[in-house]
Amino acid sequence: MTTTMKNFPLLNEIDEQSDLDNIDWNINAFQTLLTSNLPMTTIFYYAIDVGFRRLESSLYETYWDVTADALNDLSDFLFNTPSSYDIDPYLIEAKCQLLMYASIAIIKLHTLRRRSINEAKMSCATICLLLLEQSKSYETLLIKNQYSSCIHSMRLRYLKRMFIIGQWLSTLSKAQLNDIQSNHEQYVETMIDHLFRAVSLRDKINGFIDNCLLSNSNSGNDFPDNETTSSGFVFIRRFPKFNGKTIEKHSDLMHMGLVNTLNQFALKFEGKGFHRRLTILDMITKEIKSIFCHPAICERLASMLNYFLQHLVGPKRRNLKVRDLNEYLFDPPKLVAKVTDIYLNFSEYNQFCAAVSNDGMSYNEQLFPQAVEVLQRIKYPSERIDEFLQLGEHIKKIAAEQKEEDAAYDDAPDEYLDPITSILMSDPVMLPSSRTILDRTTIARHLLSDQTDPFNRNPLRMQDVIPQNELKQTIEQWKASRRE
């Protein structure tokens, strides 16, 4: 494979995430792979990776044909690839990903064609509910091979899929969920018939839903995806019911998905996708704040925003260079405004404010005043500037209080300190297999990227940790005595 990659630079460019949001580049790369003399397994992994880049980017474009072509090209490839033991997990997850993007695409189609938006949203919700409850968990192999970058990208898409689906379903009313239970076949049919051109392709997608998602899908058996029902359309026999425990069951994966989504924001400032991603993050955080207040996620979001602001208005802004400002739609003052909007979405959350002040990498007391100079220059609304200044002062106050508290507790006994961060624990928990005690926030942060015990690598979920209430009370009593 190494020799192949040297002779075929396109594979290196894909691994390096080159032109991630460039639709034309991804179209050409997809066609080049399909017509190349590369080994079929190589074409399989890399064509799927590029196909999903193209499909995701197309959803943000104004025209429908761009999305329709991306959706149908990738579908033809996926549903005409023969199954085999080696590639089945990757192929099955790719098909699930395709269905999720298709469920989003139906909303775009109905919006552009001025069809029923409610029907499109219900179709989207129906597919999302199926994928959340019925599809297999996608795990990556620990063994590294020549396709590791593609396999890793699929894992990140899987986590992102869990996050998006979970958040989408939690916004539905009870009446809407009852409607899905009664009319799920109609909604699935709406999506498939409106999006996919070829009858043979529609039949294969119906067969995949019926045989792989709804026929003992979690038993580990392999199911053919090219069979159709006698009626010519899938008959959903075991449609899942949705309730509060549905989200709770997948919460760890959803949190991991959110963190991986946030991590993608910090990759680079260049590209049309950066401003678009900030806009999407602003929209999400306006509507959904609770999931961002998970301690580890809150820290990640705060440090990411501080990092952006530091590079946009701080001394590091001189190092920020873009090849062509017009080509990349790169406008730093507008980016400052968008980052400010996201800060203000969390202005009433002390946990977020504390996370901003605790970021020793990018935050300092001059950061917000420097941003205000830019906001005033671009005539950002004065009332919003006042809110931002008030937020800055509130964060400074929290930082001062935290510094004073740290000084008071700097001689804490070792058994009260987290073994990883060396910080006084506020909510100690025990890991069941290694019997190690550490702070809940520390292990929660670790599990967002690696669902194992960090001390012995055994599988671990957040719900498995054991609260240490007696130790917690002892620490609180010690802190109270220090304050006196």
Q: Decide yes or no: CATH 1.10.1060.10 for domain 414-483.
A: no
Handedness of CA 294, 271, 104, 82 (dihedral sign): negative
| pLDDT tier, 300 (very low <50, low <70, confident <90, very high otherwise) | confident
More confident: 210 or 343: 343
The structure tokens 């005033």 sit at 376
Give all strands (DSSP E) within 93-239, no chain letters.
none
| pLDDT tier, 264 (very low <50, low <70, confident <90, very high otherwise) | low
pTM of the model: 0.61
344 in Cβ contact with 292 (< 8 Å): no
pLDDT at 227: 41
More confident: 357 or 225: 357
pLDDT at 235: 44
pLDDT at 20: 65
More confident: 22 or 109: 109
Nearest alpha carbon to residue 443 among 252, 171, 277, 265: 252
DSSP letters, 410-442, are TT--GGGB-TTT--B-SSEEE-TTT--EEEHHH
Average pLDDT, the chain: 80
Q: Which of 14-28, 379-393, 401-415 has the lowest mean pLDDT?
A: 14-28
For the segment 239-251, the average pLDDT, to the nearest whole number, is 60
* Token duo for residue 422: 């060396």
Q: Can you tell me the distance from the alpha carbon of 122 to that of 355, in angstroms, rounded to the nearest whole number?
A: 37
Burial of residue 187, with CB atoms counted within 10 A of its CB: 0-12 exposed, 13-18 middle, 19 or more buried: buried
* Token duo for residue 465: 């940790």
Q: Which of 164-178, 231-245, 395-409, 452-466 has the lowest mean pLDDT?
A: 231-245
pLDDT at residue 324 tops 50: no
The structure tokens 């590029």 sit at 50
pLDDT at residue 152 tops 60: yes
At 163-174, the pLDDT tens digits run: 777 767 777 788
CB atoms inside a 10 Å sphere around CB 440: 20
pLDDT at residue 229 tops 60: no
Phi (first) and psi of residue 438, to 5 degrees: -150, 175
299 in Cβ contact with 445 (< 8 Å): yes
| pLDDT tier, 359 (very low <50, low <70, confident <90, very high otherwise) | confident
pLDDT at 79: 93
At 439-451, the pLDDT tens digits run: 988 888 788 667 7
Domain boundaries, the chain: 2-251, 266-408, 414-483
pLDDT at residue 222 tops 50: no
For the segment 53-69, the average pLDDT, to the nearest whole number, is 89
For 237-271, b/e burial (b = at least 16 CB within 10 A) is: eebbebeeebbeebbbbbbbbbbbbbeebeeebbb
20 in Cβ contact with 157 (< 8 Å): no
Candidate ranges 22-26, 388-392, 455-459; pick with highest mean pLDDT:
388-392
* Residues pairing with 466 in the sheet: 430
DSSP 331: -
Residues in the chain: 484
